[in-house]
A and B are shown apart, each in its own frame.
Chain A
Amino acid sequence: MTLVPVLLPLAMAVVVFLTPSKLWRPRLLAATAAAHFAATVAIVAGEAPAGAGAWLRLDAPGRLLLGVVSLLFLACAVYSVGYLRYRVERENRRFCACMLAALGSMSLVAYAQHLGLLWVGIEATTLATAPLIYFNRTARSIEATWKYLVISSVGIALALLGSFFVGYAALLGGGEASMLFGDLLASAPSLSKPWLRAGFTLLLVGYGAKLGLAPMHTWKPDAYGEAPGVVGAILAGGLTSCAFFALLRLTQITAAAGEGVYARRLLVVMGLVSMAVAGALMLGQRDLKRMLAYSSVEQMGLLAMASGLGPTATFATLFHLVNNAFGKGVMFFAVGNLHRAFGGKTTVEVHGGLRRLPLSGTLFFLGLFAVTGSPPFGPFVSELLILQSAFGAGRWIVGGLFLAFLLLAFAGMGATTLAALQGRPPRSARRSVYRERFTTCAPAIVLLGLVLLFGLHLPVPIRTLIEDAAAALAVGP
């Protein structure tokens, strides 16, 4: 019963794959997402520990991750119903089945309490999403899928080696050979330091490739650029959150073993470098989806840097992760709609977005302020909290660079977004078939509403969820 969020989507992926009707597959997808969300709410709200065995259990961080993934996916599934109506010429069997497989594997990541199982879940998310990037069947999308698969698979293979290193560090410590987070945390002080350091480094490189931290970010603009917008939302909000949680858990173990300074220094440096690289590449970017990909690189860098600030920033980091997931959803939905209406996704084709699509255009415009951290949206609050803990710890240079890179990203994104929204739409776009519909706009409105709500007042149940997760992840100084 408690494993419903993992098993239901996987079972439904098979059902959807066998469903003959092109019309019913997206509906089944949305229905499954709704059932998944209902089950998640029931499990997360119920205090009882959920899971099976020692290695599949939903702890406080897992609850938060599952909640974020489930809600974002529900929005994506509803959006897909509308999106696929405009893509009737495409076979959607694989698309719907792979979406559900991705949901099941992301849920598995939330449940995983074992380093190896965590790896299995994250690798499964990579494999399930590869066919989604390839949905359009163009030469460009094949190239993007290939880069995505090769870089992610190799990166993640290194993460498996890193996981084994950490397991071996426990074996050397004289304890029982175990790769469960609980056991590793308990025996942390006796872990072999050289193996732990090597393991953490490999894991950071491996899961960092999945996050798109520089210099392993090169697949990201290609994959996000060629995938349908809704897939971009899943990649940027769901998969990255999963990989980031993996890094958080490993940082916790490494810190508990007394190697926190080493781990956090790596995280801060990699995070700041990613922010710098992404900011530079966003300037003058014409392709809206590639711009969002670099924005995701920047946000992942921000999160890595924030997690490197130590336990005082954990709440802010997790809060920002939630904001980022929903904010990216808004942006990818809006860009997806613009792409449909204008038949292109660069500012060469897309201009006058506000006139052609008043609703999606407005959502894109407001989303820009949300994801770049302007008040009154949630990311403003979480970024302010991160900045506070940086300055509070006396890390003036880190805080200063952080602010500078945020400004850089705002400048880059702002110029591209305004170029797409202002002006008169080209004649071809005025005649295109795309019309704003409930299914393609409501998900973005709901997510934007949530991000706005988080900025004005963080509801108590969500605050508690984040606080519990932060408390469970914070160990030692």
Chain B
Amino acid sequence: MTSLLASLVAALLLVNLVALGTSRIGTVVRAVALQGVLLGILAIAAQGDLTWRVLALAFASITLKGWLIPVILFRALRQVEIKREVEPSLGLLPSLLLGALATVLAVVAGSRLPLAETRLAPLLIPASLATVAAGFIQLTTRRKAISQVLGYLVLENGIFVFGLLLVEAMPFLVEAGVLLDLFVGIFVLSIIIHHINREFASLDTRRMSLLKE
């Protein structure tokens, strides 16, 4: 079980770096979708016994993050007919290196903080912090609105990983609420993306500079 967990976590971290280092937006959407599926499997693998709750959570996560949200994002991408390049303000290689550095730092931080048990926490906590950092880097260094949304999704995925340690403390209603909020958030963001493109004839968020002091 632990080796399965370890390989899942490794795959998760690898996807982070793929999302940071790819130039085509379509590939990044697919990478983030794959991460959503991995999270669902991780949710099952992390729990010793299979309860209906864990299964429902995994199912919800896979359908939402692996299918529904990518569908919405691809639709937004088609509608706005933009050049399908990421156009980062920080080069792809530097942001990739930054992501790798963040992963190392997360592992170091995870080994210094007190942990409750030795089975899950040493794997999941560094993975969570590294994914949050990767999402944050993507969010801050990309110019296109849709890339920023993808960064936000990666960041949320990282938080989801941490949440797996606290399954007992979270009523199912709350988990469902978190996923629902995420879905509605992405939905609203994709509508706004559509309008940004129409008003500014671009998804480049630097063009949005009407409002300032």
Residues of A participating in the B interface, judged by any CB pair closer than 8 Å? 55, 114, 116-117, 119-120, 123-124, 127, 130-131, 134, 137-140, 142-147, 149-150, 153-154, 157, 160-161, 164-165, 167-168, 170-172, 176-179, 192, 194-195, 221-222, 225-226, 281
Contacts and interface: CB of A to CB of B under 8 A. Distances in A.
The interface residues of chain A, by DSSP majority, are classed as helix
Contacts of B178: 116, 119-120, 160
B197 to A, nearest CB: 10
A164 B124 CA distance: 13
Given A143-B211, A149-B189, A177-B168, A172 B152 contact: no
Contacts of B188: 127, 130-131, 149
Contact of B113 (A123, A134, A194): A194
B173 A117 contact: yes
Nearest to A54: B171
Interface of B: 113-116, 132, 136, 139, 145, 148, 152, 155-156, 158-159, 162-163, 165-166, 168-171, 173-175, 177-178, 180-181, 184-185, 188-189, 192, 195-196, 199-200, 205, 208-211, 213
Contact of B159 (A114, A140, A161, A192): A161
Given A153-B152, A154-B152, A145 B192 contact: yes
Given A124-B181, A146-B145, A146-B205, A171 B162 contact: no
Contact of A142 (B115, B184, B196): B196
Contacts of B136: 154
A154 B158 CA distance: 12
Name the residue among A134, A140, A150, A170 with the largest chain B CB count within 10 angstroms. A150
B166 A281 contact: no
A120 B170 CA distance: 12
Contact of A157 (B152, B184, B208): B152
A140 B207 CA distance: 11
Contacts of A170: 169
Contacts of A160: 159, 178
Name the residue among B169, B171, B189, B200 with the largest chain A CB count within 10 angstroms. B169
B169 to A, nearest CB: 4
Contacts, number: 126
20 contacts: A114-B174, A120-B177, A120-B181, A124-B181, A130-B192, A139-B200, A142-B192, A142-B199, A146-B205, A147-B211, A149-B192, A150-B148, A157-B155, A164-B165, A171-B169, A172-B114, A179-B170, A192-B114, A195-B114, A221-B211
Name the residue among A117, A153, A170 with the largest chain B CB count within 10 angstroms. A153
B203 to A, nearest CB: 10
Contacts of B159: 157, 160-161, 164
A177 B159 CA distance: 17
Nearest to A120: B177
B185 A164 contact: no
A134 B113 CA distance: 43
Nearest to A156: B181
Name the residue among A134, A138, A177, A226 with the largest chain B CB count within 10 angstroms. A177
B139 A154 contact: yes
B211 A144 contact: yes
B114 A117 contact: no
B171 A127 contact: no
B192 to A, nearest CB: 6
A165 B210 CA distance: 38
A171 B173 CA distance: 20
Given A150-B152, A157-B152, A177-B169, A127 B184 contact: yes
Name the residue among A145, A157, A226 with the largest chain B CB count within 10 angstroms. A157
B169 A117 contact: no
A123 B210 contact: no
A438 B132 CA distance: 51
B181 to A, nearest CB: 4
Nearest to B149: A150
A157 B158 CA distance: 10
A170 B114 CA distance: 12
Nearest to A165: B162
A53 to B, nearest CB: 8
Closest 4 A/B residue pairs (Cβ) = A120-B177, A116-B174, A177-B169, A143-B208
A69 B192 CA distance: 28
A179 B166 contact: yes
B209 to A, nearest CB: 8
Contacts of B166: 164, 167-168, 171, 177, 179
Contacts of A176: 168
A146 B165 CA distance: 32
Nearest to A118: B174
A12 B22 CA distance: 45
A7 to B, nearest CB: 14
Nearest to B113: A194
Given A142-B195, A146-B196, A194-B113, A157 B174 contact: no
Nearest to B193: A146
Nearest to B187: A127
